[in-house]
A and B are shown apart, each in its own frame.
Chain A
Amino acid sequence: MTPKQIRLAAIGGGLAFLALAAGIALTALEDNIVFFRSPSELAAKPAVIGEAMRIGGLVREGSVQRDGLRADFAVTDLAHDINVSYEGMLPDLFREGQGVVAEGRFDASGRFIADTVLAKHDETYMPPEVAEALEKSGKLNAPHPGKDGR
């Protein structure tokens, strides 16, 4: 092959490869993105049953109930609540009044079945999604009932 043919073959092959890789990546992206919804957004526009999503807010005081491995609790942005069920071990900093993000889907009864629950390891830190959800509901600086001074 002449140098010119080699170059053409290389460029052609490279482009074909890139197109293939881009195709795979975009399809994968299409199938695997997960939206974040705040309790107020969900109250305004209920979710499709079975659609994977992330929700977040504060764990409502007094809402946590445990039964064996299962935990039921409410996630709130202080304007609206979502009832969540999770089976497994909750993270270290899962506590009433703390910010939490859960990933999962709604079942037919309107309960959010979480696959994973994320809480942060630092008491002073709040996940940005949660902070924004609270900001939108206008309750960011509302006093947390039952929380001491710090």
Chain B
Amino acid sequence: MIAELGHFVLVLALVVAAVQAIAPIYLARTAPDIALSIASRASYLQFILILLAFAALSYGFVRSDFSLAVVFANSHVAKPLIYKIAGVWGNHEGSMLLWVLIVAAYGAAYARFTDTKDSFAARVLIVQGWLGVAFLAFLLFTSNPFARLLPAPFSGQGLTPILQDPALAAHPPLLYAGYVGFSMAYAFALAALTGADDGGNWARRMRPWILTAWIFLTLGIALGSYWAYYELGWGGFWFWDPVENASLMPWLAGTALLHSALVAEKRDTLKKWTLLLAIITFALSLSGTFLVRSGVLTSVHAFANDPERGLFILAILGGFSLAGFVLYGLRLPRLAADKPFQPVSREGLLLVNNIFLATATVTVFLGTIYPLVLDALGMGKISVGAPYFNAVFAPLTIPFALLLPLGPLLNWRAGSVKPLQNRLLLAAGAAALVTCGIVLSRGAASVMVVALFAAALWLLFGAGLDLAQRLGPYRSRLIKFWTLPANAFSAPLAHAGLAVMLLGILAATQWRAEIVVAAAPNQQINIAGISLRYDGLREIDGPNYRAEQARLTYLTGRHQGTHIFPERRFYEAERAQTTEAAITTDMTGHLYAVVGETSGDKRVLRLWYHPYVAFIWLGALLMALGGSFALVTRLRRA
């Protein structure tokens, strides 16, 4: 009964979204107030209806109502409650319901928080309405989460054990909040292209929304990377898997968009490019969904699929992208000319930033799409892996990181490096000194690696310079840090975050140690200056699994005497097996231990030492924090 109600409110939501998408169009010119009022109310209502449907599906999962097909296929009574709830989006139908919920949430939030009530705002909501219509139709016609199974089975098939992890609760919602958030960029671009009544103010109104989306996407990707790191059992943090690339492309484009929108807002230039970038960023978000949800890819993210869904999403992707690009092409000649600026200026360097990020996006796109195109043309199945991406990203990163610190230090319009000379030399000297220290203590694998270290350190010190310059006027009250403007921390934190992440990636990939042994009980294992003893194995019972648990004891160092317990779990209901790595986390590095199969009377053990690997995710957190400071500044001003 609850499920039927859920289905019913979803149909209602589709109707409401259609009203939001169509009705205000006719009123926008004659009665903009009424148009906005209708669009706002429709977006609130749409959000509430989808929230009810979501609650109904969650109820089905919590109560283990196996007459619902998705619950049957993805849940089990023996599953812990948290995974029953998070399991709502641990499958195709439920995750698409989460997606439409977030689309509606952004629409409703915009209706609530927009500071200017005009026809521009109404047009933004109209575009959001169309998105609601498209995805609700997709959900209802191809992926109905409320489909019934009659007669109802007694027991569910359970959730893939690899998804039975606390990260499932946060990774998809964060990622979707990022993807869908860029729909706001698209909606703003279309609203700006369909009328000039905003006084050229769209960039200012768009920025908080793209900041929000970008923060969520950054956190979502970082959490996904961390999850893969500890769950997949070998300590890799990024696999250049097409699905990861699908999230990286909108992130790169979105990062470019953040910066070009800043120029568009402050300097009234690069506006045409910003509009195009807004459309591209959302198109990339949609392609991400298409790639993941269509089943064209092999990955841990691929749920069971049918081709009809892929086609439908492809139609949505094609429809919205085409609409955006055609409208852009038609309106381009009528857009105001961009103001000229000097190449050595903040705008100039932000443009350079955009060129680099756009190039990075294109290279990821190439590496991701090329195998799919070849396959579709019947020219063979190929895979493009990490070597390609590393070969492209390493040389791109160096000039990008070298130029980046100059941007925030230069003035708008026409800047000069001269007055900054001494400070820049200081930062460069510090970076060179630390690089020398690293090379002397750890050696140098290649010129490229040394250059990357130097570039990342220069970026870090450059961010420090930027912070010092921004805080200069407040020198006398640095102690009262809460009175300092939040704005001063945003760019320095985000840029330092990138530097920290780069350093983490370099250290973890260049200095990592690995050992595989077939160990007998009481055997000693040495890795990266750490000695451990393998004590043996025992069997334990978890809530819905059995496990073989190995015990290792630290013989030396700070953790001397402590035990670690890598496990292999067997899930009865799902008839599957997972590796639970034992990770000892220190800021200076992680010891990562995994237990494998029996080999004669011995056990295969695999250990890694990942130096400074935590810096990767710490860097991502700093970036998101920088973004949050920028967002707070904006909200306070509004």
CB distance from A85 to the nearest CB of B (A): 15
Q: Is the CB of B396 within 8 A of A21?
A: yes
> Does A33 belong to the interface (CB within 8 Å)?
yes
CB distance from B458 to the nearest CB of A (A): 20
- Output the nearest chain B residue to A101 by Cβ-Cβ distance: B298
Q: Is the CB of B383 within 8 A of A24?
A: no
> Does A110 belong to the interface (CB within 8 Å)?
no
Q: Is the CB of B518 within 8 A of A68?
A: yes
> Does A72 belong to the interface (CB within 8 Å)?
no
Q: Is the CB of A18 within 8 A of B359?
A: yes
CB distance from B150 to the nearest CB of A (A): 22
Q: Is the CB of B382 within 8 A of A3?
A: no
Instruction: Kindly state the separation between the CA atoms of A21 and B575 in the bound complex, as whole angstroms.
Output: 47
CB distance from A120 to the nearest CB of B (A): 8
Instruction: Kindly state the separation between the CA atoms of A103 and B387 in the bound complex, as whole angstroms.
Output: 14
> Does B300 belong to the interface (CB within 8 Å)?
yes
* Max count, chain B CB within 10 A of own CB: residue among A3, A9, A33: A33
Q: Which residues of A contact B604 (CB under 8 A)?
A: 69, 89
Instruction: Kindly state the separation between the CA atoms of A69 and B161 in the bound complex, as whole angstroms.
Output: 26
Q: Which residues of B contact A36 (CB under 8 A)?
A: 380-383
Q: Is the CB of A93 within 8 A of B577?
A: yes
> Does A109 belong to the interface (CB within 8 Å)?
no
Main secondary structure on A side of the interface with B: mixed
Q: Which residues of A contact B391 (CB under 8 A)?
A: 24, 27-28, 31-32
Q: Which residues of B contact A3 (CB under 8 A)?
A: 340
- Output the nearest chain A residue to B399 by Cβ-Cβ distance: A17
Contacts A21-B359, A33-B382 known; A6 to B388 CB distance under 8 Å?
Answer: no
Q: Which residues of A contact B596 (CB under 8 A)?
A: 89-90
Q: Is the CB of B597 within 8 A of A35?
A: no
Contacts A24-B395, A32-B385, A123-B575 known; A88 to B343 CB distance under 8 Å?
Answer: no
* Chain B: number of interface residues, binned into ranges: 35 or more
Q: Is the CB of B594 within 8 A of A150?
A: no
**Binary A-proximity of B566-583 (CB < 8 A = 1, otherwise 0):** 001000001111110000
Partner of B300 from A54, A88, A121 at Cβ < 8 Å: A121
Instruction: Kindly state the separation between the CA atoms of A89 and B577 in the bound complex, as whole angstroms.
Output: 14
Q: Is the CB of B298 within 8 A of A128?
A: yes
Q: Is the CB of A123 within 8 A of B576?
A: yes
* Max count, chain A CB within 10 A of own CB: residue among B517, B596, B600: B596
Q: Is the CB of A66 within 8 A of B383?
A: no
> Does A129 belong to the interface (CB within 8 Å)?
yes
Instruction: Kindly state the separation between the CA atoms of A54 and B576 in the bound complex, as whole angstroms.
Output: 25
> Does A49 belong to the interface (CB within 8 Å)?
no
Q: Is the CB of A29 within 8 A of B381?
A: no
Contacts A24-B395, A32-B391 known; A125 to B382 CB distance under 8 Å?
Answer: no
Contacts A29-B367, A66-B599 known; A125 to B304 CB distance under 8 Å?
Answer: yes
CB distance from A42 to the nearest CB of B (A): 13
> Does B516 belong to the interface (CB within 8 Å)?
yes
Instruction: Kindly state the separation between the CA atoms of A93 and B579 in the bound complex, as whole angstroms.
Output: 10
* Chain A: number of interface residues, binned into ranges: 35 or more
Instruction: Kindly state the separation between the CA atoms of A101 and B359 in the bound complex, as whole angstroms.
Output: 32
Q: Is the CB of B578 within 8 A of A54?
A: no
Instruction: Kindly state the separation between the CA atoms of A132 and B296 in the bound complex, as whole angstroms.
Output: 12
Q: Which residues of B contact A122 (CB under 8 A)?
A: 160, 162, 574, 576
> Does A141 belong to the interface (CB within 8 Å)?
no
Q: Which residues of B contact A67 (CB under 8 A)?
A: 599
Partner of A121 from B160, B383, B396, B599 at Cβ < 8 Å: B160
Q: Is the CB of B576 within 8 A of A35?
A: no
Q: Is the CB of A32 within 8 A of B516?
A: no
CB distance from B597 to the nearest CB of A (A): 7
Instruction: Kindly state the separation between the CA atoms of A1 and B137 in the bound complex, as whole angstroms.
Output: 55
Q: Which residues of B contact A123 (CB under 8 A)?
A: 574-576
CB distance from A129 to the nearest CB of B (A): 6
Q: Which residues of A contact B351 (CB under 8 A)?
A: 10
Partner of B606 from A35, A88, A132 at Cβ < 8 Å: A88
> Does B233 belong to the interface (CB within 8 Å)?
yes
**Binary B-proximity of A112-139 (CB < 8 A = 1, otherwise 0):** 0000000011111101110010000000
Q: Which residues of A contact B597 (CB under 8 A)?
A: 66, 89-90
CB distance from B164 to the nearest CB of A (A): 11
Instruction: Kindly state the separation between the CA atoms of A124 and B575 in the bound complex, as whole angstroms.
Output: 10
> Does B370 belong to the interface (CB within 8 Å)?
yes
CB distance from A61 to the nearest CB of B (A): 17
Instruction: Kindly state the separation between the CA atoms of A127 and B295 in the bound complex, as whole angstroms.
Output: 10
> Does A34 belong to the interface (CB within 8 Å)?
yes
Q: Which residues of B contact A150 (CB under 8 A)?
A: 575
Q: Is the CB of B599 within 8 A of A21?
A: no
- What are 26 sample pairs from A and B whose C-beta atoms fall under 8 A apart? A10-B343, A21-B362, A24-B391, A25-B366, A25-B392, A27-B391, A28-B391, A29-B366, A29-B367, A33-B371, A33-B383, A35-B382, A36-B380, A36-B381, A36-B383, A54-B381, A68-B518, A68-B599, A88-B606, A89-B594, A91-B233, A92-B577, A121-B162, A121-B578, A122-B574, A127-B298
Given contacts A10-B343, A28-B388, A68-B599, 4 further A-B contacts (CB under 8 A): A29-B367, A29-B370, A33-B371, A122-B160
Write the residues of chain A forming the contact surface with B, with a CB cutoff of 8 angstroms.
3, 6-7, 9-10, 14, 17-18, 21, 24-25, 27-29, 31-36, 54, 66-69, 88-93, 101, 103, 120-125, 127-129, 132, 150
By Cβ-Cβ distance, the 5 closest A-B pairs, closest first, are A36-B381, A28-B391, A32-B388, A89-B596, A32-B387
